[in-house]
Amino acid sequence: MKKIGLITNYERDSGLEYTKETADFLISKGCTVLTDQRLGKRLGLDTCLRSYMQVCGEAEMLVVLGGDGTILSAARHAALYDLPIFGINLGSLGYLAGAERSEGRAAIEKVLRGEYAVEKRMMLQTVGSDKRLRIGLNDIYIRNKESAHMLKINIWVNDYYIDTYRGDGIIIASPTGSTAYNLSAGGPVLKPDTQLMAITQICPHNLYARPLVISGDDEVSIAIEGDGALAVVFIDGVLSLEIGGGERLSIKKSDYCTKLIKTTALGFYDILRSKIALQQRG
* CATH code assigned at 17: 3.40.50.10330
Q: What is the pLDDT of residue 142?
A: 96
- Cα–Cα nearest to 193, from 259, 94, 243: 259
Shared domain for 111 and 24, answered yes or no, is: yes
Average of per-residue pLDDT values in the chain: 91
Q: What is the pLDDT of residue 195?
A: 97
- Cα–Cα nearest to 80, from 34, 3, 133: 133
User: What are the CA-CA distances from residue 118 to residues 107, 126, 234, 263 (Å)?
Assistant: 14, 26, 27, 9
Q: What is the pLDDT of residue 277?
A: 52
Shared domain for 144 and 88, answered yes or no, is: no
Q: Given 68, 139, 168, 236, which residue is catalytic?
A: 68
8-39 pLDDT per residue, tens? 999 999 999 999 999 999 999 999 999 999 99
Catalytic residue check, 68: yes
Q: Is residue 40 scored above 70 in pLDDT?
A: yes
Question: Confidence class of residue 246 from pLDDT cuts 50, 70 and 90?
Answer: confident
The vertex-236 CA angle with 234 and 242, nearest 5°, equals 15
Shared domain for 143 and 248, answered yes or no, is: yes
Q: What is the pLDDT of residue 227?
A: 81
Give the number of domains in the chain.
2
Question: Confidence class of residue 267 from pLDDT cuts 50, 70 and 90?
Answer: low
Would you say 122 and 257 are in contact if contact means Cβ atoms under 8 Å apart? yes
Shared domain for 226 and 277, answered yes or no, is: no
Shared domain for 169 and 250, answered yes or no, is: yes
Q: Is residue 278 scored above 60 in pLDDT?
A: no
Mean pLDDT of 186-208: 92
- Sequence-separated (6 or more) residues with CB below 8 Å from residue 145: 230, 231, 232, 242
CA distance 169 to 2: 45
State which residues form the domain around 202: 124-255
Shared domain for 222 and 131, answered yes or no, is: yes
Shared domain for 237 and 158, answered yes or no, is: yes
User: What are the CA-CA distances from residue 182 to residues 95, 123, 155, 211, 251 (Å)?
Assistant: 14, 15, 17, 9, 16
Shared domain for 178 and 207, answered yes or no, is: yes
